[in-house]
A and B are shown apart, each in its own frame.
Chain A
Amino acid sequence: MKKVNSTLFVLLILLSFNVGHTVLAQGKYIDKTGKIAFEASEELFEPVKAKNESVTVILNTETAEIASLALMKSFRFKNSLMEEHFNENYIESETYPKATFKGKLLDFDLSELTTEEQDIEVDGKIELRGKEKQINTTLKMKISDDDAIVIKGAFFVKPEDFDIEIPSVVRNKIAKEIIVSLDFKLTKR
């Protein structure tokens, strides 16, 4: 009897480990090819915009914590000279190679997500060029046909939020407010 008991005990421990493991594994959704685009175009001037299609996004559906990382060199401009200026003069990507976002989805419950888009608020911080900026915006979230979590959204930032100085020669060619849009598709890991 004693032996049976201890076997049962060991089994239970093993089982609980296993359960714990699955819960952890279930809670993680990842996108390695998330898309972020920004635009700072002014009418009549050449469009100032770029796109990054290899953004990392990790969402923990248990805690609603969300983190994202974009490498600066991965932003593609149509104009290669503009891309060079972006990296060398504005972002200084050799010194500050990435932008990160860390935050939390408010009132998020995975089981309430459907194939219909719904508004979910996110609160967090963007870090770029060693500066932090608080961001609070509403995202559109839904479940896709292939069970991925789709997140879309857009928000505004200003160059001065990250201490980016725009030289006076080009000041009227670059918008004061830059729109950042995102398009993520996270799959279960």
Chain B
Amino acid sequence: MKRKKLIILAILIVALISAAFVYNYVFNGEHRNIAEEEVSIQIAAEEIFAEFQADETIATSKYLDKVVAITGEISLVETSALSLNDIIQVSFIEGTMPDVKLKNTVTVKGRCVGYDELLEMVKIDQASVITNIN
């Protein structure tokens, strides 16, 4: 009898723990780590920009939320962002801004979040620099 109670108790505990795990997985699931994801599209700054200018809807469905690697020349360096050829706005997660120099050609990896027609720039976030060609 005592043994039966123990088994029931054990089953209850296991059920509770797994429920907690499932809850945690569903409600506190981790965000994507873009820097560790594989690049799905490699492209030059001018090319991706031209695609968004030509047809934003098509380009959006092709690039939105995708991990891209874009190559271009650094045209502006800000606190936690940089621009490539004045047409790609690249932002870094706070505190992860790499040491880059103006006019350098770099390939940045990040998530494409869309086209900003006010700035006339394609926006990339959660970026990391993968190559720095001097």
Q: How far, in whole Å, are A2 and B117 apart by their CA atoms in the complex?
A: 49
User: 19 more A-B contacts (CB under 8 A) besides A33-B81, A68-B118, A87-B65?
Assistant: A32-B81, A32-B89, A32-B119, A54-B125, A71-B114, A72-B114, A73-B64, A73-B111, A74-B123, A74-B125, A79-B27, A79-B28, A80-B29, A80-B30, A94-B61, A97-B115, A98-B114, A98-B116, A100-B118
B120 to chain A, nearest CB (A): 10
Q: Point out residues on B near A: beta carbons under 8 Å.
A: 26-32, 60-61, 64-65, 78, 81, 89, 91, 111, 113-119, 123, 125
Q: Which residue of B lies closest to A76 (CB)?
A: B31
Query: How many inter-chain contacts with C-beta < 8 Å in the A-B complex?
Result: 63
Digit string of A76-104 for contact with B (CB within 8 Å is 1, else 0)?
Answer: 10011101000100000110011010000
Task: Tell me if B119 and A56 are in contact (CB < 8 A).
Answer: yes
Contacts of A68 in B (CB 8 A): 118
Assuming the A-B contacts A32-B89, A97-B60, are A69 and B113 also in contact, with contact meaning beta carbons closer than 8 angstroms in the complex? no
Q: Which residue of B lies closest to A87 (CB)?
A: B65
Q: Interface majority SS on B: helix, strand, loop or mixed?
A: mixed
Assuming the A-B contacts A74-B123, A79-B27, A81-B26, are A67 and B113 also in contact, with contact meaning beta carbons closer than 8 angstroms in the complex? no
Task: Please report which residues of chain A, range 11-60, place their CB below 8 angstroms from some CB of chain B when the two chains form the complex.
Answer: 32-33, 46, 54, 56, 58
Q: How far, in whole Å, are A73 and B66 apart by their CA atoms in the complex?
A: 11
- Range of interface residues on A (Cβ < 8 Å): 20 to 34
* A68, A87, A94 pick with most chain B CB within 10 angstroms: A94
Q: How far, in whole Å, are A83 and B65 apart by their CA atoms in the complex?
A: 12
Contacts of B119 in A (CB 8 A): 32, 56, 69
Task: Tell me if B31 and A54 are in contact (CB < 8 A).
Answer: no
Task: Tell me if A94 and B27 are in contact (CB < 8 A).
Answer: no
B113 to chain A, nearest CB (A): 4
Q: How far, in whole Å, are A58 and B119 apart by their CA atoms in the complex?
A: 9
A-B contact pairs, 25 of them (CB 8 A): A33-B81, A46-B27, A54-B91, A54-B123, A54-B125, A69-B117, A69-B118, A71-B113, A73-B65, A73-B111, A74-B113, A79-B27, A79-B28, A79-B29, A80-B29, A80-B30, A81-B26, A81-B29, A83-B31, A87-B65, A97-B60, A97-B114, A97-B115, A98-B114, A100-B118
